[in-house]
Chains A and B, each alone.
Chain A
């Protein structure tokens, strides 16, 4: 297998049996690794109930003054995107596309068009109720409770882990 030439150079010269054996062992190892998973998964922090009051006169949320404006929210472990989907409403949608878990953050893989949230990773589309309009995602996304007052240009996003999903948020006083 290992030869030393007269000029001192070392040569590796495997036999056909060695190659086949290596191929078989390597293939088995790779298949075993893949089959068993051997994955490490950890998400830092934990989900908490959140209540976020927003004011469109605040620079952070000013993009919501226009229909189609999107603001990402990362609080309490939640990944949400606030979207001004009409002249009178703001909605809160989950940012993680269930197809391949691309983050539909406006600076990453998310876009709003034709009254739908689009994951530009692979083209999945979701309507304002989180329902799938187009694949490849086969699962919809969560819709979070947002109350918006057009007159005052303020609103609140509330996610309560302990409450029923249909609980309505109370507007700030």
Chain B
């Protein structure tokens, strides 16, 4: 969402890397996305000012699994398909507390398949965390957060089937699982107008579970490390309408650097309860470039990403990854994705990916996803998609539908 929104993840989420609970600004953005709007509270505060709550719940209808071969008593072979059914894919509760302008706390709790049967922590994939919780301090140029947090690896993606964090030999089991989190700390510094640096040190217990459950694939070190560099320059192309507010009487910078102040100005101008007053400014091109490396011992995952987008319009991004587990298990992946906000409530999207893994032999997986994010109401998303997955063993294409409720 960074590219079409023109603002970084932390502008809308308590978590500066995105995902999870939304702050007041993010809540307002979510409220403005519905085709049919309702006038509710101006904030998602509960009980007291600064204490916000939210949730994300997803139900997915799909054929879960892969096509399989059936041999009958006569020896005739046919292809069977998994049954089309619904599963609760995500049930997450979020809390955030803004102590003051600089200090905040946030946390999420993810339910699992058997939570209602009494298992309060029931991760689906090894390495997933049921909880994410952090205390963070931020100033104009830096922030530091610590707790049980997800390292800022590459671009955070809602879709855990993306090959960027997976292994082409086992595409249905991600390398870095969704809701991955470790105990640790991450420091971010906006050292210049165009460069953001993030450095982190973490425990690697859940990483060990993800990589080495059942079969040991990498000897990990005592800790895990992260280094991420990114830049989000804006460019003015054509037109003459400045990107930032003119209330101050000052012209906006050519390329935005301090995302806090510029975003506040833009947001105040852009978001109103009346949809008719939401401006579309296609002359500002938001870009994103960067890379990250996360690893421990014999394992690392290296990500590089780039993207460009028109505010509330078309955006495109590319991300590539290389992950290594010892010298005998090397994976590469590339993902090209695009969204087009025809309306704020109707956003088609497309993603094409290829992943390869060199292990005892070469594995290759290709994936294609086309769908539409449709927000009939604020806080409700209906996402029909067509997904195709091709490995060296099978080709499987199917329509899916996701219902996403969020606050």
Contact = CB atoms under 8 A, between A and B. Distances in A.
A58 interface: no
B311 to A, nearest CB: 11
B214 interface: yes
Interface string B206-247: 000000011101000000000000000000000101000000
Contacts of A30: 382, 384, 399, 401
Given A26-B384, A43-B393, A13 B276 contact: yes
B79 interface: yes
B84 interface: yes
A102 B172 contact: yes
A88 interface: no
B65 A102 contact: yes
A22 B346 contact: yes
Contacts of B345: 19
B35 interface: yes
Contact of A161 (B75, B82, B215): B75
A34 B385 CA distance: 10
Contacts of B169: 107
Nearest to B276: A13
Interface stretch (A108-116, A124-132, A146-154): A108-116
A62 to B, nearest CB: 14
Interface stretch (B66-74, B92-100, B181-189, B191-199): B66-74
Contact of A14 (B35, B84, B213): B35
B214 A9 contact: no
A11 B276 contact: yes
A27 B403 CA distance: 12
A14 B395 CA distance: 40
Interface residues on A, range: 35 or more
B63 A39 contact: yes
Nearest to B239: A8
Interface in A1-47: 3, 5, 7-14, 16, 19, 22-23, 26-27, 29-30, 33-34, 37-47
Interface in B328-347: 342-343, 345-346
A43 B170 contact: no
Interface residues of B, number: 58
Contacts of A27: 382
Contact of B396 (A5, A11, A40, A107): A40
B170 A107 contact: yes
Interface in B17-64: 35-36, 61, 63-64
Contacts of B395: 40-42, 44
A96 B68 contact: yes
Contacts of B124: 121
B280 A9 contact: yes
A19 B170 contact: no
Interface in B141-165: none
B189 to A, nearest CB: 36
Interface string B382-396: 101010100011111
A122 B36 CA distance: 38
A101 B241 contact: no
B8 interface: no
A111 B214 contact: yes
A105 B393 CA distance: 15
Given A9-B280, A9-B281, A107-B214, A41 B79 contact: yes
B379 interface: no
A106 B173 CA distance: 12
A38 B84 CA distance: 12
A108 B82 contact: no
Nearest to A45: B393
B40 to A, nearest CB: 19
B374 interface: yes
Nearest to B77: A47
Contact of A33 (B282, B346, B392, B399): B399
Nearest to A122: B113
Interface of A: 3, 5, 7-14, 16, 19, 22-23, 26-27, 29-30, 33-34, 37-47, 77, 96, 100-103, 105-111, 120-122, 161-162
Interface of B: 35-36, 61, 63-69, 71, 75, 77, 79, 81-82, 84, 113, 124, 126, 169-170, 172-173, 213-215, 217, 239, 241, 275-276, 278-282, 342-343, 345-346, 372, 374, 376, 382, 384, 386, 388, 392-401
26 contacts: A3-B276, A8-B239, A9-B241, A9-B281, A11-B278, A13-B276, A22-B35, A23-B376, A30-B401, A34-B84, A38-B386, A39-B63, A40-B398, A42-B67, A43-B67, A44-B394, A44-B395, A47-B69, A101-B65, A101-B82, A102-B65, A103-B170, A106-B215, A107-B170, A107-B217, A108-B173
Which A-B residue pairs are the 3 nearest by beta carbons? A101-B65, A40-B397, A30-B384
